Amino acid sequence: MTIDTLAQEIGRIAQNDGDYQTAIPQLLMARRSGRTEPLACIYALGLAVVAQGGKQVTQADQVLTYGPGESLLATVDLPVVSQVIQADMARPFLGMLLTLDARALVQLAADMELPPLPREQVARGMSLGPLEEPLLDAVIRLVRLLQEPQHIARLAPLIQQEIMVRLLTGPHGPYLRQLIAAGTPSHQVAQAIAWLKTHFSHDVLMDELAERAHMSPSTFRAHFRHLTGMSPLQYQKQLRLQEARQLMLTQALDASSTAARVGYESVSQFNREYSRHFGAPPQRDIKRMRELPGGGVLQALG
């Protein structure tokens, strides 16, 4: 099977521009008939695949461009700017995102005989690699399973497990294993990030985060920046702003209520930082987001 096969299968479901939540909760699909504006969003732990067209993802000072036959793996939740850069009516952008279960990955890695990580292995929050044939075959089978809804409950977990095995042993493997291997600096930072995700609306002392990661504050900040491309405070701010945008989109909250919900004491400060990050004040940005294909809610596929 080829990448064109995957494009055909995605196109069968995504027949119009938009984002598509499927009967497999972890699997999302997208179609775009033209280039898109840069969209600030958060990539969670997962595998993104372009079946047709081209995509560009910017994370801090790292710019990754990929197209058919390539895959992008996010190993921690990362604020990024995503943009479809190659698409037209004749050959629209077709892509998919499969979110991964961190606990299942840890269990699989523990049960497998994996080679030790290279000493010079550099931690990355995102990695770009070829979509090798065995992994492509498993991804196509997962998408095709949507045509057999009666078998999804039993077969989807098996195919998803195969995909995780392929990721652990393929080109993405060293970066993924570094994030789930207990005791590595990347794993310790990832645990701190997971905690921060659920406490971002509170004022958090960075020394407290460093203590949770069992590191000195200076070591923690260095590893955090290396993995995410930003400081812990910048990361917390972006989490707050992304959550604010989602709240206003999905719950129709006003800026004042939203600011308080995500941890801002000053509405004017919230408006300033929101405008700086998203390029428009909250009300104007939310109106623009609602006009996007899919209503802007499933942001990760851009």
Q: What is the mean pLDDT of residues 2-10?
A: 96
Superfamily holding 3-174: Jelly Rolls (2.60.120.10)
Q: What is the pTM of this model?
A: 0.86
Task: Find the mean pLDDT for residues 19-30.
Answer: 96
Query: Tell me, what's the pLDDT at 298?
Result: 42
The sign one gets for the Cα dihedral 288, 292, 295, 296 is: negative
CATH topology of domain 234-301: Arc Repressor Mutant, subunit A (1.10.10)
Residue 5: per-residue pLDDT: 97
Q: What is the pLDDT of residues 127-142, one digit of tens each?
A: 999 999 999 999 999 9
Q: What is the pLDDT of residue 294?
A: 58
Residue 252 has pLDDT above 60, yes or no: yes
- Give pLDDT tens digits for 287-299: 988 887 755 444 4
